[in-house]
Amino acid sequence: MDPLFLAYSYFRRRKYEQCVELCSQLLDKNPYDQAAWSLKTRALTEQVYIDEVDVDEEGIAELIMDDNSIAQVARPGTSLKVPGTGQGAPSQGVRPMSQSGRPLTGFVRPGTQSTRPGTMEQAIRTPRTAHTARPVTSASGRYVRLGTASMLSSPDGPFINLARLNMPKYSARPNLAKSLFEYIFHHENDVRNALDLASGATEACQFQDWWWKVQLGKCYYRLGMYRDAEKQFKSALKQQDMVDTYLYLCKVYVRLDQPLTAVEVYKQGLQRFIGEASLLTGIARVYEGMNDMSNTVQFYKDVLHQDNMSIEAIACIGTHYFYTDQPEIALKFYRRLLQMGVYNTELFNNLGLCCFYAQQYDMTLTCFERALSLASDDNMSDVWYNIGHVALGIGDLTLAYQSFRLALASNNDHAEAYNNLGVLEMKKGRLEMSRAFFQAAFNLAPHMYEPHYNFASMSDKVGDLQSSFNAARRASDAFSDHMDSKQLLSSLRKHFAML
């Protein structure tokens, strides 16, 4: 068989290793074989290809030294930096908040754990815990770790030596340029050279090819030149309507911290591509970022109308129902997920919780057992924590105590478990112990208001008014509408005034 044909066949069957090997042999025989060369670049690219649209996490550096967003303090509800007061969302007391002041989401994706820390120290310290990791910058971050081969060493040097590549020559050849570009962009992760090639190529085709414009936009986006990226995407959209381009353009606006513009663009996209699920999901994500739960759920429901297999939408709606006191409905959504073949710890954990709150106690422990049997080191602690939570609910304090201990055994940074242990210890009257637990909890997770308040009320009882006052202040900083903290604070103020 013709080796090139075979190589193509391997490529189509996604057997990239064999394809690369075959192409290398062809190229050894004839180094000027363009077809083999092009195929090899494509195969190498496919090996490490990741979807640009979804994989995107802001690095610490971008977060701290953000100078792209225009308004430093925008009106609430118009910015992702300052989440709004939460329309249609349950309060922080019911639905826990992440550190950014956003409610926990039902679906973990890059960016949902995003924190907007106040200071550099906070930013650097937070990812030090074992379970969150944030790249230093997005340029050096996940792309290097996930999506590129540039860190791998190849035995006989790189396939293409970029430094010696004659860019103008390649950019004038449309048949080679596109695959070469993807190779440089995805495989080598060398955005500057990719940009060089793309700008040459778009000029060579008289600025008529929208594809090159999108690629240019991608390069600019990676380099952090959002305004240039915006221009390229817009110009590409003028030539050719593409869902992808809309998604990229919206990413740019999200980075510029203009969520309403992003939603506007998504809606424009929806006019051209009616009911496109990825666009609807995009809108829902933006609203979720702004804490606008009623709109989020609305759009996730629209997603489900179009694509009833969307795990993200089902999970998010499920979570929403769970936290708005409708565990039975949440249970339905999670069962749907189970039907679709999602079979993991998190799902069983959630099912267990839903069953518990829906008073189907027979199923609760079975679900948690399933979850435990599937759990890995990463999420074991969460399952044990939830079991402890259920045990607290049925009044079995010993089981609860043991569960929280087990949660800490698998992850000793589990702040919630520390907090609950503290409460249990306080009940037992071991104040020193509980004090230590509370301190551990609020040092690990300063954004949680519970350990602060617990610490404050305990200190108040033992008469350490100064630390009580401080802790209560921290609690009301974390959750400004918390009544108990406010009451404690005002009574302490009165007390101090009397002195």
Partner 1 sequence: MLVPVFTLKLSHKINPRMVAIGHYDGKHPCLTCATTAGKVFIHNPHSRGTRGGRMEASMDSDLNLLNINQAVSCVTAGQMNPETKNDVLLVGTQTNVLAYDVENNSDLFYKDTPDGANAVVVGNLGSIENPVAIIGGNCSLQGYDLEGTDTYWTVTGDNVCSLCLVDFNGDNQNELVVGSEDFDIRVFREDEIISEMTETEAITSLCGMQDSRFGYALANGTVGVYDKSSRYWRIKSKNHAISIHAYDLDSDGVSELITGWSNGKIDARSDRSGEVIFKDNFAQAVAGIVEGDYRMDGTDLLICCSVDGEVRGYQPAGQEMKGNLMDTNVEQETIRELSQRKQNLLLELKNYEENQKAANMDRPSGLGELDQQQMGIIPANTQLQTTLNVNMGSESQRPHVELFIATTNETIIQAVLIFAEGIFDGESHVVHPPTATLSSSVRVPIVPPKDVPVDLHIKAFVGNKNSSQFHVFELTRQLPRFSMYSLADPKAEIPLPKSNVTLTLNERINRVVMWVNQTFLLHEDIVSEGPLNLTFLSLRGSGPLCFSMEQSGQMTIRTDDMDLAGDVIQALATFLNIEDLQSIAEFPEDMETLRQVLVKVDEFHSVRQKLTAEMADHSNLIRSLVVRAEDARLMSNMKHMRQGYMELYNLNRDLINGYKIRCNNHDELLRCLKSVNQAIQRAGRLRIGKYKTQVINSCRTAMRSNNVSLLFKIMKTGSS
**Residues forming beta bridges with residue 87, ordered by sequence position:** 292
Match 């020193």 to its residue by tokens.
432
Distance (Å) of CA 411 to CA 406, 407, 439: 9, 6, 17
CA 35 – CA 37 distance, rounded (Å) = 5
Match 């290398």 to its residue by tokens.
24
Piece in contact with partner 1 (CB under 8 A), picked from 2-10, 73-81, 358-366, 387-395: 73-81
* Contact status: 209 vs partner 1 (CB under 8 A): no
* Contact status: 83 vs partner 1 (CB under 8 A): yes
Residue type, 31: P
CA 34 to chain centre: 40
Residue pair 95/299 in contact (Cβ under 8 Å)? The answer is: no
* Contact status: 267 vs partner 1 (CB under 8 A): no
Q: Site size for partner 1, by CB under 8 A?
A: 57
* Contact status: 151 vs partner 1 (CB under 8 A): no
* Contact status: 70 vs partner 1 (CB under 8 A): yes
Nearest distance in Å: CB 10, partner 1 = 36
* Contact status: 125 vs partner 1 (CB under 8 A): yes
* Contact status: 132 vs partner 1 (CB under 8 A): no
* Contact status: 67 vs partner 1 (CB under 8 A): yes
* Contact status: 383 vs partner 1 (CB under 8 A): no
* Contact status: 75 vs partner 1 (CB under 8 A): yes
CA 5 – CA 36 distance, rounded (Å) = 10
Burial (Cβ within 10 Å: 0-12, 13-18, ≥19) of residue 377: exposed
Instruction: Give the nearer residue to partner 1 in terms of CB position, either 269 or 327.
Output: 269
Nearest distance in Å: CB 99, partner 1 = 13
* Contact status: 131 vs partner 1 (CB under 8 A): no
* Contact status: 82 vs partner 1 (CB under 8 A): yes
Binding marks (x or -) toward partner 1, 288..327, rule CB under 8 A? ----------------------------------------
Long-range contacts of 402-407 (CB under 8 A, 24+ apart): 406/381, 407/380, 407/381, 407/382
Nearest distance in Å: CB 181, partner 1 = 15
* Contact status: 283 vs partner 1 (CB under 8 A): no
Piece in contact with partner 1 (CB under 8 A), picked from 63-71, 380-388, 424-432, 436-444: 63-71
The per-residue DSSP string of 389-445 comes to HHHHHHT-HHHHHHHHHHHHHH-TT-HHHHHHHHHHHHHHT-HHHHHHHHHHHHHH-
**Which one of 30, 140, 366, 373 is in contact with partner 1 (CB under 8 A)?**
140
CA 133 – CA 371 distance, rounded (Å) = 24
Q: Which residues, 6+ apart, have CB-to-CB distance to 59 below 8 Å?
A: 134, 135, 136, 137, 138, 139, 140, 141
Largest CA distance in the chain: 96
**Which one of 4, 53, 55, 74 is in contact with partner 1 (CB under 8 A)?**
74
Piece in contact with partner 1 (CB under 8 A), picked from 27-35, 38-46, 222-230, 333-341: 222-230
Q: Which residues, 6+ apart, have CB-to-CB distance to 31 below 8 Å?
A: none
Question: What is the chain's alpha carbon radius of gyration, rounded to the nearest angstrom?
Answer: 27
Instruction: Give the nearer residue to partner 1 in terms of CB position, either 265 or 297.
Output: 265
Residue type, 358: A
Instruction: Give the nearer residue to partner 1 in terms of CB position, either 264 or 328.
Output: 264
* Contact status: 136 vs partner 1 (CB under 8 A): yes
Query: What residue ranges bind partner 1 (CB under 8 A)?
Result: 59-62, 64-65, 67-76, 78-79, 82-86, 101, 120-121, 123-125, 136-137, 139-140, 191-192, 195-196, 199, 219-220, 223-225, 227-228, 230-231, 253, 256-261, 264, 477, 480
